[in-house]
Amino acid sequence: MFILGKNIKLMSLTLPEITKQIHSEDIRKVIEKRFNTILPIWAPMQLAWLNGVYRTFNDYEKFMIVMFLMMKTFDTYSKNLVMLNFDEFFDQNMVEIETINITELSKNLNIPKETARRKIIELEELGTVKRINKKIIIDRNTWPNIKPEDSIKRMSNFLSNLSNMCVEEGLISTPIKSERLVETSKKHFSLIWSLYYDMQMPMLLNHKKLYGDLETFHVCGTCISNDALHTKKADISKISKELYLEKYFSSDSKYFTGVNAMSISDITGIPRATVIRKLNKLLKLKFLKIDNKKHYSSGGVHTKKLLAVQKIVFDRLSKFAERLYHLSSIK
């Protein structure tokens, strides 16, 4: 993809110079090199998105089904060379989707067919999915806080910070301001949000596979995010990724006070009784540890498994960043 450098003017557009390219592989190398700096801003941002996912329906699988159906709709837009900006997309409260295939949903979302069928029925009872004549419609009026304004701002701030790191590593000459990334995301919304979902869906599916369910992942992710956020207070920029993980996320690390069950419930929206049940599961599996004040933090035992999933997520992030940086360089 093309990125900032000297620009070539063509008609009313300012296009990036072909020789000034940045590839997702290069962005991925920057993320790996700056892992210690990336994680403390990436983890809380992803946690904020996951909190929103849960609070939409108080049910991850319902959200994932709607997300999957919207991804298919975005694909249809793309095949027909249709791209809607933010206002055009949200001016339509009713979004037509393709026929719902339970077998396809079950396979792609890794949920039993009966569960997929039950969730669709529940979405119909909520009025989120409607059958009007021969059309299947998603009614966005039934979603609280439907417009992803905060998600766009958070992701744009993160990618702007990442672009600063890319400048420092010599990949691009000029950092990209978050305001420009917000503007680009809204201008090309249906494309950008399709790419965003392409990044986030594997994140959900792979963590579900690792933890067994998304509530357990959400609870554990809250504890890890809290740990990562606290590392910002330490001098972590000059130590290796390996030392960073060993020092701050190992089973015998004493650097963090952790977070208690009530706080996890308040942060995530998950009922406290469910949080406690999931915490006990995570302790048994050694994903987390607990101190004498009943504060929970990273157990450090499964770091390799967590990093394997994180690699998939960061690979997708790099591809997403490449596309958004490219679009943001066109004026």
Tens-binned pLDDT, residue by residue, of the chain (331 aa)? 444 444 444 445 555 565 567 899 999 999 999 998 899 999 999 999 999 999 988 999 999 999 999 999 999 898 899 999 999 998 888 888 878 889 999 999 999 999 999 999 999 999 999 988 778 888 877 775 678 999 999 999 999 999 999 999 999 989 999 999 999 999 999 999 999 999 999 999 999 999 999 999 999 999 999 988 887 777 666 677 777 777 767 656 666 678 999 999 999 999 999 999 999 999 999 999 999 999 999 887 888 888 899 999 999 999 999 999 999 987 6
Decide if 72 is inside a domain.
Answer: no
> What is the number of domains present in the chain?
1
Alpha-carbon gap, residue 149 to 207, rounded angstroms:
25
Decide if 302 is inside a domain.
Answer: yes
On whether the CB atoms of residues 257 and 293 are closer than 8 A, the answer is yes
On whether the CB atoms of residues 286 and 299 are closer than 8 A, the answer is yes
For the beta sheet containing 135-139, the strands, ordered from the edge strand earlier in sequence to the opposite edge, are 94-97, 135-139, 129-132
Q: What is the pTM of this model?
A: 0.89
Surface-to-core class of residue 77, CB atoms within 10 Å of its CB (0-12 exposed, 13-18 middle, 19+ buried):
middle
Decide if 71 is inside a domain.
Answer: no
Residue 281, token pair as written in the block:
């599961």
Residue 189, token pair as written in the block:
């919304």
Structural domain containing residue 241? 7-56+146-328
Surface-to-core class of residue 237, CB atoms within 10 Å of its CB (0-12 exposed, 13-18 middle, 19+ buried):
exposed
Decide if 106 is inside a domain.
Answer: no
First to last CA, the chain: 15
Name every residue whose Cβ is closer than 8 Å to that of residue 209 and which is 6 or more positions away in sequence: 110
On whether the CB atoms of residues 1 and 23 are closer than 8 A, the answer is yes
CA 302, 53, 257, 292 dihedral sign is negative
Kindly provide the b/e burial profile for residues 268-289, where b requires at least 16 CB atoms within 10 angstroms of the residue's own CB.
bebeeeebebbbebbeeeebbb
Surface-to-core class of residue 36, CB atoms within 10 Å of its CB (0-12 exposed, 13-18 middle, 19+ buried):
buried
Decide if 26 is inside a domain.
Answer: yes
84 sits in the region (left: phi over 0; alpha: psi -120 to 50; else beta) called beta
Decide if 96 is inside a domain.
Answer: no
Residue 61, token pair as written in the block:
């699988």
- Residue 135 CA to chain centroid, in angstroms? 30
Q: What angle do CA 100, 106, 112 make, to 5 degrees?
A: 125
Residue 22 has a CB neighbour count (10 Å cut-off) of 23
Residue 255 has a CB neighbour count (10 Å cut-off) of 14
Residue 323's pLDDT is what? 94
Strands (DSSP E) contained in the chain are 7-10, 13-16, 94-97, 129-132, 135-139, 288-290, 296-298
Q: What is the dihedral of CA 56, 60, 65, 71, to 10 degrees?
A: 70
Decide if 76 is inside a domain.
Answer: no
Residue 214's pLDDT is what? 96
In Å, how far are 206, 257, 270, 330 from 213, measured between CA atoms? 10, 26, 13, 41
Residue 4's pLDDT is what? 44
Decide if 226 is inside a domain.
Answer: yes
